[in-house]
Amino acid sequence: MRTLDPLRRLVANRPLAALIGAGAVSGIGDWIYMTALPVLVYERTGDPMLVALATLGRLLPFFVLSMPAGIAADRLPRRAILVVTETVRCIAMLLIAGMCLVGADVGVVIALTMVAAAAGTVSMPALASLTPELARDDEELGRANAIRATLDSLACVVGPALAGLLILAGGLPFAFALNGVSFAAVAVALVVWRSPVRPRSDVVFDVASAVVPRLDPALGALLRRIAGPLALDGAISFASAAISVTTVIVAVDWLRAGEPFTGVLNAAGGLGGVVGGLVAGLVINGRSRLGIAVAVASFVGATCVLGLTAIPDLAAGATVVATGALIMLDTLNMTTVQRLTADGGTGRAFGLLQTLAALWMMAGVLVPTVCLATLGIQAAILVPAGVVLALGSLSLVVPKGVVPAVGKLTALPAAAA
């Protein structure tokens, strides 16, 4: 079938397909780890404050190292960065598994999680920059990002489920070891599927109007170029963090469906993410702005339904739509940044995005909490809708750099396949 031709073509690009596949395996491992870590810390200490400290330990490197990581991704071989960082993360996870087996102090575990988080932070801009490098044309880049988003959403369903089974079986050390193996899979894929790729600045669009101007590496020029995506990423980060802290409150205090319904809402979010990734794939090449507008409207509408109804089934459906809209926005926004910086500066752009995302995520945790205490649960549920509507609309009207029209690029060398 001709509808499967783009997918077959993407699979034929073995380095890119291997990177996406290994990333999906790593994503499952990440969710196993993120589910198991709080359980380990609370099981060992019984102290919620230490659980929060473990979470902070993962976020701190994200805030501090994102910009240096972006600069490194623009100046050093990206594949080498990823091989080193994924190896470091693998070793850190295996050491955590060993610490679990010997009953080591939880402080050592938290320190190792910070090492893993630091390595993961350094890897993110390199990964975001390597993807357009491996894509043979602009259309393939869009489809690759959509497939990655879909697989990541599947991982957030499969990972916690596997973690739950391991925790029930008393296999916390194995949970961390499995995450370590998933990082090893990425490193192996990068080593095995090597391909000589050239910078995207060397390729030429076959559409005369789609010439991309040379990117000024200065921070001011970069800010002007990606001002719209920066605004949209702030909305995505704020809303994602807000949902993560209000889900259990919605299930218990708003819907009065009990704590187990939190799992239902999380599963609904995973399903929504899969749908969002698939829909993003339909609009990512040529209709991105329309997709962003639809996703913003969908998130606002679904969040309003969630904040105005106490019917559990309707709330679960609204969660599917809201989470799917966020995944769709994230996929379209990431691809827009890659296209805007196709001639250089991709690493710095994503480093800047990640640094500001950390601040938006903190706000996404704090603002709904304050609303909950002062204005009530409905305000806490609805505030992300206002933020997404404001910043999402701003991202569509703010002046930005030239986005190349989606069309075939001059093909990269055959070796890249």
Cα angle value 288/18/1 (rounded, 5°):
60
Give 102-157 pLDDT, tens digit per residue: 877 777 888 888 888 888 888 888 887 887 877 777 777 787 888 877 877 777 76
* Per-residue pLDDT at 393 exceeds 60: yes
Tokens of 280: 């993003």
Q: Name the pLDDT band for 326 (thresholds 50, 70, 90).
A: very high
Q: d(Cα 121, Cα 351) in Å, to the nearest integer?
A: 9
**Closest C-alpha to 340, from 223, 237, 249:** 223
Q: What is the pTM (predicted TM-score) of this model?
A: 0.73
Residue 132 near residue 338, CB atoms below 8 Å: yes
Tokens of 147: 């497939």
Give 11-41 pLDDT, tens digit per residue: 777 777 777 877 777 777 777 777 777 777 7
Q: d(Cα 125, Cα 189) in Å, to the nearest integer?
A: 18
What pLDDT was estimated at residue 389? 94
Q: d(Cα 224, Cα 122) in Å, to the nearest integer?
A: 24
CA atoms lying within 13 Å on the CB side of residue 30: 21
Which of 84-88, 158-162, 186-190 has the lowest average pLDDT?
Answer: 158-162
State which H helix or E strand residue 6 sits in.
helix 5-12
Q: d(Cα 151, Cα 144) in Å, to the nearest integer?
A: 11
Tell me what the pLDDT averaged over the chain comes to.
76
**Closest C-alpha to 349, from 24, 124, 33:** 124
Amino acid at 80: A
Q: Which 3 state secondary structure label does DSSP give 137?
A: coil
* Per-residue pLDDT at 386 exceeds 90: yes
Average pLDDT over residues 69-89: 85
Q: Which 3 state secondary structure label does DSSP give 398?
A: coil
Residue-range domains of the chain with CATH: 9-197 (1.20.1250.20), 213-397 (1.20.1250.20)
Tokens of 125: 């801009």
* Per-residue pLDDT at 1 exceeds 50: no
Tokens of 395: 């991202």
Give 176-196 pLDDT, tens digit per residue: 888 888 888 888 877 776 654
Tokens of 172: 């916390």
Q: d(Cα 190, Cα 185) in Å, to the nearest integer?
A: 9
160 Cβ contact list (under 8 Å, min separation 6): 31, 32, 35, 266
Give 206-239 pLDDT, tens digit per residue: 333 333 334 444 566 777 778 888 899 999 999 9
Q: d(Cα 343, Cα 202) in Å, to the nearest integer?
A: 8
Q: Which 3 state secondary structure label does DSSP give 409?
A: strand
Q: d(Cα 306, Cα 109) in Å, to the nearest integer?
A: 38
Give 254-291 pLDDT, tens digit per residue: 878 776 676 677 778 878 888 888 888 888 887 888 99
Average pLDDT over residues 151-164: 73
Tokens of 56: 């902070």
* Per-residue pLDDT at 171 exceeds 80: no
